[in-house]
Amino acid sequence: MKTTKQFIITLISLYILFGSGYALSGTWPALFGKDATTSLAPMLENVLPGVVNIATSGTVAVKQNPMYNDPFFRHFFGAVPQQKRRTQSIGSGVIVDARKGYIITNNHVIANADTIFVTLNDKRKLKAKLIGTDPETDVAILKVKPDNLTAIPLANSTALRVGDFVVAVGNPFGLGQTVTSGIISALGRTGLGIEGYENFIQTDASINPGNSGGALINLNGELIGVNTAIVGPSGGNIGIGFAIPINMAEQVMQQLIQHGSVKRGLLGVQAQDITPELAEALGLDTTEGTVISAVTEGGSAQQAGIKPGDVIIRIDGKPVISSAKLRNTIGLKRVGESVDIELIRDGQKKHFKLTIKQADVDSGRVSNIPLLNGAEFSAIPRNHPLYRQVDGVMIASIKRGSKIWRSGLEPGDIIVSANRKPVSSVKQFLKIAKKTRGELLLRIQRGNQALYVVLR
């Protein structure tokens, strides 16, 4: 009797664990093969050749004592040569186009890399070419010789649900290809400060250092996300991992492949989430959507007729549930694209058609100031730790190998003064730089550290 009861309990447990999940992941044969054994192995046999290990090496400038860049010190002791050191890193990547040899990974996996090598599941080692990177979403695209490669098919990440079973594949701690499993713990995670544009899938499948850039797949063997970050003490796994949804990553990937960079769109508004109190004051029956608190003069939103107090609820027919969703949606649009915006104004729904303009980051691109060639500048974005803490201009990006890159400056640095003059806008900073003859003295705020850098 006891044995029969245990057997029945076991059957019920197996049904709950596996049977109830098939509505979202496919049939038994699709998951386990025709023998219907409780194993992920048949599915993984098709997936593992599409996940690669990535090893990089490069050179970065060593941070110098700010005193070395002080004009008074340099007058008496001369310039101190910039010291450099070699770096190495490991990570993972996913083959997304076997015919052309494209691999998607994280930007932070290949940052500062001079050489990139990819090791395939069959132990072949290939040199990779960097096609493009987007630090704001932490996406990078590599290309290798398309010789007998296997790509992982892409899923539709908007169809994911909390509780879906997932499998993470990567190269944790440089051990080699490793598989872990779990479920989707949450969707649409934002406000973590990990990336500029966040819409993470959260999972309890073990993700550790070295897993970055690896695959998060569903039980049909389709790519649903790119593993990116973890939350845990000392960088260890405690069951809170994050992946970039593949729909978001694919949008960035297409721009990087076609143009080598991402041209971010700008709507020209400031928006905020709707609290219950704000919803009541605005006469709304929901907290979904985002209310416009300010409209930029001359921006596409103002030209289209959008006003402060308008509540945006849809873009191109898709719900906008928060200000983060609005920022992600517009930020992934290509400059020049037209979008349809549905909003609520005074209790009435209205539609506006407008064209996305260039974001501030592009207004800071310089080509006629030799000292700044290779860099882009922007206002300090809202997600930056120093937003509203200091006045200045942020270095949005730096081209590897450029003169300004060799000076030791880094993306995310805040320029608070130029030639001892405070700067509060990109236009003001570029005006000072344009008038400079010889050396340009910059005062930089990097986290809690302040330093001087001389460009010459």
Q: Among 25, 89, 92, 108, which one carries the catalytic annotation? A: 108
Domain range for 137 is 49-143
Answer yes or no: do 129 and 206 share one domain: no
Confidence of residue 186 (pLDDT cuts 50, 70, 90): very high
Confidence of residue 277 (pLDDT cuts 50, 70, 90): confident
Answer yes or no: do 61 and 102 share one domain: yes
Q: What is the CATH number of the domain that holds 61?
A: 2.40.10.120
Answer yes or no: do 396 and 427 share one domain: yes
**Domain end marker among 358, 387, 407:** 358
Domain assignment present for residue 33? The answer is no
The CA distance from 301 to 318, in Å, is 18
- Over residues 301-306, mean pLDDT: 87
Confidence of residue 154 (pLDDT cuts 50, 70, 90): very high
**Domain end marker among 87, 110, 143:** 143
Q: What is the CATH number of the domain that holds 212?
A: 2.40.10.10
pLDDT at 17: 47
pLDDT at 235: 59
pLDDT of 395 > 60? The answer is yes
- Over residues 31-39, mean pLDDT: 56
pLDDT of 456 > 70? The answer is yes
Judge contact between 132 and 261, C-beta under 8 A: yes
Comparing 451 with 245, the larger pLDDT belongs to 245
Answer yes or no: do 54 and 133 share one domain: yes
The verdict on whether 310 is a catalytic residue reads: no
Range with the poorest average pLDDT among 104-113, 169-178, 187-196? 187-196
The CA distance from 220 to 25, in Å, is 6
pLDDT at 23: 39
pLDDT of 2 > 50? The answer is no
Answer yes or no: do 166 and 223 share one domain: yes
pLDDT at 153: 95
The CA distance from 392 to 240, in Å, is 35
pLDDT at 128: 94
Domain assignment present for residue 20? The answer is no
pLDDT at 70: 55
Range with the poorest average pLDDT among 46-55, 94-103, 230-239? 230-239
The CA distance from 276 to 65, in Å, is 50
The verdict on whether 108 is a catalytic residue reads: yes
Nearest to 306 by CA among 321, 291, 316: 291
Answer yes or no: do 166 and 241 share one domain: yes
Confidence of residue 331 (pLDDT cuts 50, 70, 90): confident
The model carries a pTM of 0.65
Contacts of 236 (CB under 8 A, 6+ apart): 208
Q: Among 25, 92, 206, 212, which one carries the catalytic annotation? A: 212
Domain assignment present for residue 108? The answer is yes
The structural domain count of the chain equals: 4
What does pLDDT average to over the chain?
Answer: 80
The secondary structure of 396-444, three-state, reads EEECCCCHHHHCCCCCCCEEEEECCEECCCHHHHHHHHHHCCCCEEEEE
Answer yes or no: do 398 and 316 share one domain: no
Q: What is the CATH number of the domain that holds 445?
A: 2.30.42.10
Answer yes or no: do 133 and 184 share one domain: no
**Domain end marker among 259, 282, 297:** 259
Comparing 450 with 236, the larger pLDDT belongs to 450
Q: Among 134, 138, 204, 360, which one carries the catalytic annotation? A: 138
Answer yes or no: do 249 and 272 share one domain: no
Domain assignment present for residue 317? The answer is yes
pLDDT at 293: 82
Q: What tens digit of pLDDT does each residue of 364-383 get?
A: 455 567 788 888 888 887 66
The verdict on whether 384 is a catalytic residue reads: no
